[in-house]
Amino acid sequence: MLRPSLAHLWIFLPLIGGYVAHAPVLRFDLFHALKRPLDGGAMFRGRRIFGDNKTWRGALTMFAGVLVATLVLWRGSGYGRRLPDAIQSAGPLTFGVLLALGFVLGELPNSFLKRQLDIAPGARRTSPVGVLLALFDQADFVLGEWLLLAPIWRMSWVQALVAFAVVVVAHLCVNAIGFAIGARSSYL
């Protein structure tokens, strides 16, 4: 029996750099001048487009964190050799920029949808749609990565589905630990 390769999951490793870079920025309220909503307060159907939690500070910090992590991993650990040939051919800078853009932009459609459904930032609904949105929120950036990496590498729908499932499970585990130690108010 053929088992699908999970090698493509290495692509997502530098995304941790985005979270690592963002955590101290949030904790110590750094770069306060960039703490401006991406949507500039604009509305659609009488509701905010993305809300106050999607800021230039977050987008730029997450982008930079992913890009730096990509470049560091590629340079020192043999990371690049674990990636698909097409990504290796594109090189670390092109891959890092596309990965970082996919990460930042991939979260925006879900934020837009939640604002249009009147779900406040950080809030959850217990309806079936609310639970599905909460699960999608754990790995919404996978869709962004799928689209943004397409110019250099085509992720199959099976690979995207596997990546989405792995990211959801990992994110839920981290959330549960955060909830258990009091760093989060919910596990979803």
Averaged confidence pLDDT in the chain: 89
- Alpha-helix runs per DSSP H in 51-181: 56-76, 85-90, 92-106, 108-116, 128-137, 141-148, 157-180
For strands 43-44 and 47-48, give the pairing.
Answer: antiparallel
Q: What is the pLDDT of residues 108-135, one digit of tens each?
A: 998 998 899 888 776 766 778 777 777 8
pLDDT the model gives residue 186: 67
Distance CA 138, CA 142 (A): 10
Q: What is the pLDDT along the chain (188 residues), one digit of tens a residue?
A: 344 567 789 999 999 999 999 989 988 999 999 999 999 999 999 999 999 999 999 999 999 999 999 999 999 878 999 999 999 999 999 999 999 999 999 999 989 988 998 887 767 667 787 777 778 888 899 999 999 999 999 999 999 999 999 888 888 887 787 777 766 666 66
| Both tokens assigned to 16 | 């941790």
Q: Closest Cα partner for 166 from 184, 186, 142?
A: 142
Distance CA 175, CA 24 (A): 18
Q: Provide the 10 A C-beta neighbour count for residue 59.
A: 21
Distance CA 29, CA 6 (A): 37
Specify which residues 37 forms β-bridges with: 55
- First-to-last alpha carbon distance for the chain, in angstroms, is 35
pTM of the predicted structure, to 2 decimals: 0.89
Any idea where the domains of the chain sit in the sequence? 9-156
